[in-house]
Amino acid sequence: MALIVQKYGGTSVGTTDRIKNVARRVAKFKAQGHDLVVVLSAMSGETNRLIALAKDIQANPDPRELDVIVSTGEQVTIGLLAMALKELGIEAKSYTGAQVKILTDSMHTKARIQSIDDAAMRADLNAGRVVIVAGFQGVDAEGNITTLGRGGSDTSGVALAAALKADECQIYTDVDGVYTTDPRVVPEAKKLKTITFEEMLEMASLGSKVLQIRSVEFAGKYNVKLRVLSSFQEEGEGTLITFEEDPNMEKPVVSGIAFNRDEARINVIGVPDKPGIAYQILGPVADANIDVDMIIQNVGQDGTTDFSFTVPKGEFARTIKVLEGVQAHVGGKSVNGDDKICKVSIVGVGMRSHVGVASTMFRTLAEEGINIQMISTSEIKISVIVDEKYLELAVRVLHRAFGLDQVK
Amino acid sequence: MALIVQKYGGTSVGTTDRIKNVARRVAKFKAQGHDLVVVLSAMSGETNRLIALAKDIQANPDPRELDVIVSTGEQVTIGLLAMALKELGIEAKSYTGAQVKILTDSMHTKARIQSIDDAAMRADLNAGRVVIVAGFQGVDAEGNITTLGRGGSDTSGVALAAALKADECQIYTDVDGVYTTDPRVVPEAKKLKTITFEEMLEMASLGSKVLQIRSVEFAGKYNVKLRVLSSFQEEGEGTLITFEEDPNMEKPVVSGIAFNRDEARINVIGVPDKPGIAYQILGPVADANIDVDMIIQNVGQDGTTDFSFTVPKGEFARTIKVLEGVQAHVGGKSVNGDDKICKVSIVGVGMRSHVGVASTMFRTLAEEGINIQMISTSEIKISVIVDEKYLELAVRVLHRAFGLDQVK
């Protein structure tokens, strides 16, 4: 008998029939003797509907009032699931974030959890009840409703598991685990039984949208055993996210291939190679609220250097425009770029202790005639920017080159 | 400068455009220097949508969880109105029932308000903010979300006005006041400038659905100045509901004509004229959850009497069925009835001190050949049951007979 926190996302509770399915799954775990705390997202589409209502009133909705409005989405699903469980003869009780209470700071629409009061939930669990908690929301010290930002329900689940010292936090989603890469691109992609937190963080930040990145950080920080499972399959153990490499386990050097189509490359050519130049270029970009991903600056020649970075494809034109103003100011020669690119990355804690991973990657791409435009590395990741037309090919050949189609 | 509580119903906030209209109206009052507390219903249709979701899960939804779900309707509108006011440059802050807090008992779906904490609202009003409160909802001593039942937003408005000792509670609705009768039946119907609480209670209980009856009782009990106004007309003073007859004012004897089409008449013929017979007949009807309105039992003859009462038309067949079992038991001769009837009532505190009101009513109906099937009276009301085909005619001739088309 264990204490399990289960989190179900928006598609898992998208209709009343699906909510009934979730209730049956929860009932199955309950019948096995487990204590259960269930964290829910809003029904899929509901949060967007509420945001659209708000934007119909204010183009930039007031953050406090937006939280009042969007937090109702989860409040509806927790009530519905509690009813569905009662209909199965199982005692259950729903809690809003404020009722728990999940105390956050006052940063509306992107609040951070500060503490969780577990007293009421424990009393319910001891009385044999299933506890149902609205994800994504909390309450600040003044009693204002706050939300954790998009995907915040994962974070709610992990934070509740940490507060309750749960044996496991299960994240139910529309995929049945973490794969070596996207199976839609490489049909031979294999589901990983385990992945380390560090790898998961890199995979998540690189566009494998299985888990919200903050929830993974949170799980690592508070030592929460985290598992990703499918809410649409009855069987399967999903992927367990682990804290450390198992020294006894023979793991492949590379755990997965991540990629991101939504990148555009910007180059500022021939800028003076002097301190402060990066800030002078990126400051105005940040001021324009444009997210920057990879940043590369090479050693300069002749007192000048080329400065490159990537932004989301949709921000390409706007970034060029921002930089046209900056270019003269910083003394650059020209600004150009390319929005027909993509990013492909290999991720694995194994590469720390293995030399030659980078050269295998670059050779594999070269053999297919794929030109590498930019390279960026971290301790457990190597990312390259290539022409977007090569994305599928690059992912496929790297998947094979690192033996990921052989993962058991 | 006054403290005004304004309550807007579901049709008044049914779209984002209408919410913007409410914001402009509130802004106008604010510009006149008034302090404002605004109480809102859910957008029209939203409560029904949420109840339908719940019923899709449980035919008889769990009351605690139903309150969790339906209370989100008002939570959305308060956020939207706060945004709309900010968009007009007016500081505003929304409160759920729990945030205020509006403390109720724990009778989910029909809770009663026990106390209201006015501290936070006062602080906001003192800081120049418009306070916006979710109607229809509260919180019990254990922190569970409760609702006051259908139409409870009127009661929220009046209770807040009482707690804040507001100068006036304005109920905005889709009619512009209380009329001498329904203008759709009698085009000459006049809007009343004032009506007493007692008259309003009788009018409300007789089917003039302008105000929820509990809110009127509440206003009377706590001495709240209550005014009914149109949310769709810019001008007009609506109808003020007063506590006492103004002795200096020449008021008509009858203030209004109310009617109810939704009545069916049941007769149990020839029952023994002995103690307990009313309970033996009506007990099974109440047990079957059938609402009974008028009840008439005449003096018996030869040891037997006829017992008559009215029920909603939709319950007619079921009531007959229930009574067929009872009839043999109580020794009645037969059970019959008529679902083609209606109730017409004259209401007015003036009739207390005026003899001859009843005879004027009966003579007026007789002159039109309208047969009276049942009569029931209270201190300020006389109701008759007539054939439903005479409803419009009866209301029209009574309206004229009591000079209501001359009201100024």
Query: Which of A50, A72, A86 lies at the smallest CB-CB distance from B58?
Result: A86
Please report the pLDDT score of residue A271 as a whole number: 86
pLDDT tens digits along B270-315: 888 777 778 888 888 888 888 888 888 777 777 888 888 999 999 9
Given a cut of 90, whether residue B82 has pLDDT beyond it is yes
- Confidence class for position B247, pLDDT limits 50, 70, 90: low
Q: Do B80 and A54 touch (CB under 8 A)?
A: yes
Please report the pLDDT score of residue B87 as a whole number: 97
Please report the pLDDT score of residue B196 as a whole number: 86
Please report the pLDDT score of residue B114 as a whole number: 94
Residue B112's identity, in one-letter code, is R
Question: Could you tell me what percent of chain B has a pLDDT over 70?
Answer: 96
Element (H, E) at A387: strand A381-387
Please report the pLDDT score of residue A250 as a whole number: 58
Question: What ipTM does this complex have?
Answer: 0.78
Q: Do A53 and B72 touch (CB under 8 A)?
A: no
B98 CB neighbours in chain A (<8 A) are 98
Higher-pLDDT residue of B351, B104: B104
Segments in B41-140 forming alpha helices (H): 46-57, 63-70, 72-87, 97-100, 119-126
State residue B86 phi and psi, 5-degree precision: -60, -40
- Which residue intervals of chain B bear CATH 3.30.2130.10? 256-406
Please report the pLDDT score of residue A150 as a whole number: 67
| Residue A398 C-alpha from the chain's centroid | 23
How many angstroms away from the CA of B63 is the closest CA of chain A? Answer: 9
Helix (H, G, I), strand (E, B) or coil at B114: strand
With a CB cutoff of 8 Å and minimum separation 6, the contacts of B60 are none
The residue of chain A nearest to residue B144, with distances taken between CA atoms, is A99
With a CB cutoff of 8 Å and minimum separation 6, the contacts of B89 are none
Mean pLDDT of B194-202: 84
Please report the pLDDT score of residue A275 as a whole number: 76
Regions of chain A with pLDDT less than 50: none
Residue with tokens 């001859």: B356
A145 CB neighbours in chain B (<8 A) are 96
- Confidence class for position B234, pLDDT limits 50, 70, 90: confident
Answer whether A96 touches B (CB < 8 Å).
yes
Dihedral (CA of B24, B29, B32, B36) sign: negative
How many angstroms away from the CA of B98 is the closest CA of chain A? Answer: 10
Please report the pLDDT score of residue B33 as a whole number: 95
CA–CA separation, B72 and A72 (whole Å): 5
Q: Do B82 and A65 touch (CB under 8 A)?
A: yes
CA–CA separation, A113 and A301 (whole Å): 48
- Which residue intervals of chain B bear CATH 3.40.1160.10? 3-174
Higher-pLDDT residue of B109, A286: B109
Given a cut of 70, whether residue B251 has pLDDT beyond it is no
CA–CA separation, A291 and A306 (whole Å): 20
In 3D, which of A292, A237, A243 has the Cα closest to residue A264? Answer: A292
Q: Do A82 and B98 touch (CB under 8 A)?
A: no
pLDDT tens digits along A237-254: 889 988 765 655 556 789
What is the DSSP code (8-state) at residue A103?
E
pLDDT tens digits along A166-185: 999 999 987 788 888 888 88
CA–CA separation, A364 and A359 (whole Å): 8
Does the reported pTM lie above 0.90?
no
How many angstroms away from the CA of B158 is the closest CA of chain A? Answer: 24
Mutation site, A16, A46, A47, A68, interface B, largest B CB count within 10 A: A68
Radius of gyration of chain A (CA): 23
Which two three-digit tokens encode residue A347? 């991720």
Task: Tell me how far CA of residue A174 lies from CA of A14, A28, A57, A89, A309, in angstroms.
Answer: 11, 19, 33, 27, 33
Query: Which of A53, A65, A87 lies at the smallest CB-CB distance from B94?
Result: A65
Please report the pLDDT score of residue A249 as a whole number: 57
Choose the CATH number for B256-406 among 3.30.1490.20, 3.30.2130.10, 3.30.1280.10, 3.30.2320.30: 3.30.2130.10
Residue B279's identity, in one-letter code, is Y
Give burial (CB, 10 Å; 0-12/13-18/19+) of A36.
Answer: buried
In 3D, which of A151, A168, A148 has the Cα closest to residue A37? Answer: A168
Please report the pLDDT score of residue A102 as a whole number: 97
Q: Do B80 and A50 touch (CB under 8 A)?
A: no
Query: What is the maximum span of chain A, computed from C-alpha positions, in angstroms?
Result: 78
Please report the pLDDT score of residue A209 as a whole number: 63
Q: Do A54 and B78 touch (CB under 8 A)?
A: no
With a CB cutoff of 8 Å and minimum separation 6, the contacts of A245 are A196, A251, A349, A350
CATH code, A3-174: 3.40.1160.10
Please report the pLDDT score of residue B248 as a whole number: 53
Given a cut of 90, whether residue B19 has pLDDT beyond it is yes
A64 CB neighbours in chain B (<8 A) are 82, 93
CB atoms within 10 A of CB A406: 11
Mean pLDDT of B64-75: 98
A68 CB neighbours in chain B (<8 A) are 75, 78-79, 82, 94, 96
Give strand pairing partners of A12.
none
Please report the pLDDT score of residue A353 as a whole number: 72
A179 assigned to a ligand binding site = yes
Dihedral (CA of B92, B95, B101, B105) sign: positive
Please report the pLDDT score of residue B249 as a whole number: 57
In 3D, which of A198, A201, A181, A229 has the Cα closest to residue A344? Answer: A181
Please report the pLDDT score of residue B41 as a whole number: 95
